[in-house]
Amino acid sequence: MPHLYQTFKAVILAVFLVSFAAVAQEQEYTTDELYTQARNAAFEEDDYPKAIALLKAALKKSPDYLEVRVFLGRIYTYSDSLPQARMAFEEVLAKEKGHEEASFAYGNLEFWNDNSEAALKVVNKGLDYHPESENLGLLKAKVLRDLEAYEEATATLQGLLEQNPKLDQARSLLSSINSATAKNAVGLNYEFVYFDERFDDPWHLAALDYIRQTKLGSVAARINFANRFRTDALQFEVDAYPRISDVFYTYVNLGISSDSGIFPQYRAGFSLFSNLPASFEADAGFRYLAFDDDTFVYTLGLGKYYKNYWFNFRTYLTPSDSALSQSYALTVRYYFGGADDFIGARIGTGISPDDNANSALFNGATITRLRSNNLTLFYRKLLGATHVLTAQAGLEDQEYAADSSGLQFSVSVGFIKRF
């Protein structure tokens, strides 16, 4: 028993010494030092739990250090601990009404999580106390744009530009709102396709379209021109994107051509899109192409927005009597501005029915036996408020007959005018 008692005392003493050492070490650091360590843990080490522990230690020393509490709310936001983040911001705003940094961080939290109405209330309260805040003003304009309150968003941005004419973010956002409120657009696109083996003559494709924004969604009428095999052909198409609700919208396509060797004589398409939680989007649909044979292609897609990136994975499935043709594509976009400012790339295998350059390959007797690997780079840029420039370059290793393949190079440029 004495031996057991001595062991127990030793354990208790060791625990006490460790705890005392931890407390003593914590007390060695000032609030600012703990705050600096927390920032380093968050940004350099990417260790949010450590940063939170350090910030809590700092707040024990200085409960009224509002900058530290705002940063704690930001870290909770980054780590998806939203209730704790809201609580941290509310504590700051209770101590200092309209606190600029807390209002901005809190407003961003709600905006990023699709709570734009709540974000607007937070930002407006902040602006009551800091009417000249550029950060709050820009965030308010973004929230109003998301709520489709375009006139109020425009007035907010114009006020910011009067205050600071060099505020490029306000000017860029104003341009994107002007584009969004334009009801009409005319687009022109030209594509050049060169073959190293398959054909002696390059292909030329062009498209002229008119787009109209309606209450139900956008509608586009398009004329496609192609010169293939030294033969000219025209195709007429109509695209529409009817909205069903805030969650669902659709894609509908109808097309007709007089030359079924260059374009399908008839084409049709339908997809149902769904906006899912956490910035995901999914769709499912079909495409119909009528050449010498009728071909049905089924498509499934899944998209995800992450910060400035958009990812989309899509497959096209073409059944036949003997096999199932499968086409896959992964698309990545990086947005460096508004919806019309991005660069991107697409890598895939197989043939897409939405690609006019290869649509003539969709014949039910051969499509399941043809293989393709392709890479496409693209660029889209808003010029001014209502002009959009597009550019695209692609390389494809295309099998066009059994055991016969060749490289296919394509370059296209386009221009859109909104009004």
Contact 268, 285 (CB under 8 A): no
C-alpha span between 396 and 361 (Å, rounded): 14
The model's pTM is 0.64
Average pLDDT over residues 107-116: 94
Residue 267 counted as domain residue: yes
Q: What SS3 state is found at 48?
A: helix
- Tell me the residue range of the domain where 81 lies: 64-180
**Within a domain: residue 160?**
yes
Average pLDDT, the chain: 87
Site of tokens 């021109």 = 225
Residues 14-37 pLDDT 10s: 545 444 444 445 457 899 999 999
CA angle 311, 188, 172 (to 5 degrees): 55
How much is the average pLDDT of 257-283? 89
In a domain, 169, yes or no: yes
Residues 293 and 167 in one domain: no
Residue at 29 is within a domain: no
Per the listing, tokens 């374009």 go with 263
User: Domain holding 120: CATH number?
Assistant: 1.25.40.10
Same domain as 386, residue 312: yes
38-65 core/surface letters (b: 16 or more CB in 10 A; e: else): beebbeeeeebeebbbbbebbbeebeeb
In the prediction, which pLDDT does 297 show? Answer: 94
Same structural domain, 256 and 116: no
Q: What is the domain-level CATH number for residue 323?
A: 2.40.160.40
Position 377 pLDDT exceeds 90: yes
Looking at the fold, whether 214 and 115 belong to one and the same domain comes out as no
Task: Specify the higher pLDDT residue, 308 or 380.
Answer: 380
Structural domain includes residue 113: yes
Residue 11 has a pLDDT of 54
H-helix or E-strand spanning residue 396: strand 387-401
**Is the domain of 225 the same as that of 280?**
yes
Domain count, the chain: 2
Do 380 and 392 belong to one domain?
yes
- Report whether pLDDT(13) > 60: no
Residues 387 and 265 in one domain: yes
- Among the candidates 180, 196, 222, a domain finishes at 180
Residue 149 located in a structural domain? yes
**176 plus 231 within the same structural domain:** no
Of 120, 149, 180, the residue at which a domain comes to its end is 180
Decide if 351 is inside a domain: yes
Q: How confident is the model at residue 5 (pLDDT cuts 50, 70, 90)?
A: low
Last residue of a domain, one of 140, 161, 180: 180
Model confidence at 53, pLDDT cuts 50, 70, 90, reads: very high
pLDDT greater at residue 361 or residue 270: 270
| Of 347, 338, 356, 413, residue with least CA distance to 377 | 347
Q: Are residues 202 and 172 in the same domain?
A: no
Domain identity same for 159 and 241: no
* Residues 260, 194 share a domain: yes
* Long-range contacts of the stretch 276-285 (C-beta < 8 A, 24+): 278/304, 279/304, 279/305, 279/306, 280/304, 283/251, 285/251
Q: Do 255 and 240 belong together in one domain?
A: yes
- The confidence band for 370, taking pLDDT boundaries of 50, 70 and 90, is low
Provide the pLDDT confidence category of residue 260 given band limits of 50, 70 and 90.
Answer: low
Percentage of residues in the chain having pLDDT higher than 90: 62
Within-domain flag for 318: yes
